Each structure stands twice: as structure tokens, then as C-alpha cells.
Amino acid sequence: MTSSKHFIFATISALILGAFAISVLIPTYAGATLPNYHSRIASSATTTVGPQTDKTLFEARELCATRVVTTYAQPVSISFFASSTFNVSPTEGHLQGASTTVAYDAELYGCGQVVASAGASTTITVSEFAF
């Protein structure tokens, strides 16, 4: 009888230890991306951004992989998770330089609404990748 109690205790202990090890070893992703999944291009567009109005580049989504912004002649100011419009200034938004292509990974930047503005009217290309 005592050997069966030891066996049951050992089995339960092993299960608890295994569950704990799995919960520690498998990372939890707080971002809106899934690791090691293939993504595909979901949308791509060329648009004009200027100082007159803020331009919504990407709508909020529950799940996305990467968002890519390519600038040409002028830098643009980008706001992630924008809840209202904002004005271009050195202290507001993320400044993306002219003639650059930046991939904004959803694990770091999320899948919220992205709004942009520029000091002078300019053309940009935006692409979104999804699963």
C-alpha cells in the first residue's frame, strides 16, 4: 500500500513539475503577432501625406504580422495607436526619415491604428502583412 502511495505521489509531482516547466519554457506573446507563422501581403497602397490633414495608414486589427512604410522625398511623422489626430512636431509621433523603408513588426508596435502626417506634401507606400 505504501509503494502505491509513493507511486501516486511521484506521478502527481511529475505532472505538476512538467506543467510548470512547460509554462516557463513556452513564451507568452503580448504582441499581436504569432511567431514562426508564414505571413502574406494583405494590402499595399501608395498614398499622399501632407501637413493639411493626418492620414490613416493602417486601421486597427486584432491580428497582423508586419506593417511596412516607404518614404520618398520627405520624412513623415507616424503615430501608433492613434486615438485622435496629431500635429507634426519633433516631440510628437515617430519620425521616419526621407527615402527609407521601415518594417514595423507587430510584436513590437502592435496592430493598432497608425496615423501619419508630414511637414510638406509627399508620397509614401504602405504595405501590411497578415497571417
For 31-79, what is each residue's pLDDT tens digit?
455 666 778 888 999 999 988 878 899 998 888 889 999 999 999 999 8
Q: pLDDT band at residue 11, thresholds of 50, 70 and 90?
A: confident
Name all domains of the chain by residue range, CATH numbers in brackets: 40-130 (2.60.120.770)
Contact criterion met (CB below 8 Å) for 79 and 104 = no
Q: How far is CA 113 from CA 48, 55, 58, 84, in A?
A: 17, 11, 5, 10
> Is this structure's pTM higher than 0.75?
no
